[in-house]
Amino acid sequence: QKEVEQDPGPLSVPEGAIVSLNCTYSNSAFQYFMWYRQYSRKGPELLMYTYSSGNKEDGRFTAQVDKSSKYISLFIRDSQPSDSATYLCAMSGGSGGSNYKLTFGKGTLLTVNP
Amino acid sequence: KAGVTQTPRYLIKTRGQQVTLSCSPISGHRSVSWYQQTPGQGLQFLFEYFSETQRNKGNFPGRFSGRQFSNSRSEMNVSTLELGDSALYLCASSLAGTGLPGELFFGEGSRLTVL
């Protein structure tokens, strides 16, 4: 079993739809949970960041972390064609410098159709 | 503020050769990490350097090595290249210590093709 599991999709939705992306993980030491967005031929960029359990909202994006279930989610409201990208969940945690060693899901390719 | 710069962006090598990739982090960032991205395995952690010291290492063979210089610039080297080393190699920098753990700023990567 991989440490982080993410459905690779692809996921195709119409413009304006609500998108739900999810990851599960097995390492209970993870404390920091991130969502990165990667456009084609670009490096990933940080989209959302959450420490421990809870929800975080930023505009059209909401990140949720449920540490008891080892499950994290990203919701995109009113999706736009510009949201078309690969979404990667990432996690880190543990003692000392391992906070800076990220474990990524394989990514979900999202296409938002006009 | 300039982003993370990686060179070269594209390169083609043959099996058995070695390659050196370079990364210039964002000014003021002291931590540099390297990741390998392939369609099959996704993003995998190679190593992380902080103040010229390797602080974390992933599960890659010893053919993969790296270093960081006093100006925080970093290089990674892959020796005795294999076909399976074909990948996008991504460098990321972070503030480390004052920034958010896990808040990485990625470059656009160096795409290596091994023939």
Residues 6+ apart with CB under 8 A from B62: none
Residues 6+ apart with CB under 8 A from B51: B30, B68
pLDDT tens-place string over residues A68-111: 999 999 999 999 999 999 999 999 986 656 778 899 999 999 99
Closest chain A residue by Cα to residue B36: A104
**Average pLDDT along chain B, 115 residues, taken 10 residues at a time:** 92 98 95 95 94 92 97 97 98 80 91 98
Q: What is the 3-class SS of B47-83, one letter each residue?
A: EEEECCEEEEECCCCCCEEEEECCCCCEEEEECCCCH
Q: Judge: A44–B100 Cβ closer than 8 Å, yes or no.
A: no
Q: Judge: A97–B48 Cβ closer than 8 Å, yes or no.
A: yes
Chain A residues in contact with B96 (beta carbon < 8 A): 100
Mean pLDDT, rounded, for A29-47: 94
Chain A residues in contact with B45 (beta carbon < 8 A): 101-103
Q: Judge: B101–A99 Cβ closer than 8 Å, yes or no.
A: yes
Q: Count H helices, E strands: chain A? A: 0, 11
pLDDT tens-place string over residues A83-94: 999 999 999 986
Closest chain A residue by Cα to residue B38: A106
pLDDT at position B99: 66
Q: Let me know: does A9 contact A21? Beta carbons within 8 Å.
A: no
pLDDT tens-place string over residues A1-33: 678 999 888 999 999 999 999 999 999 989 999
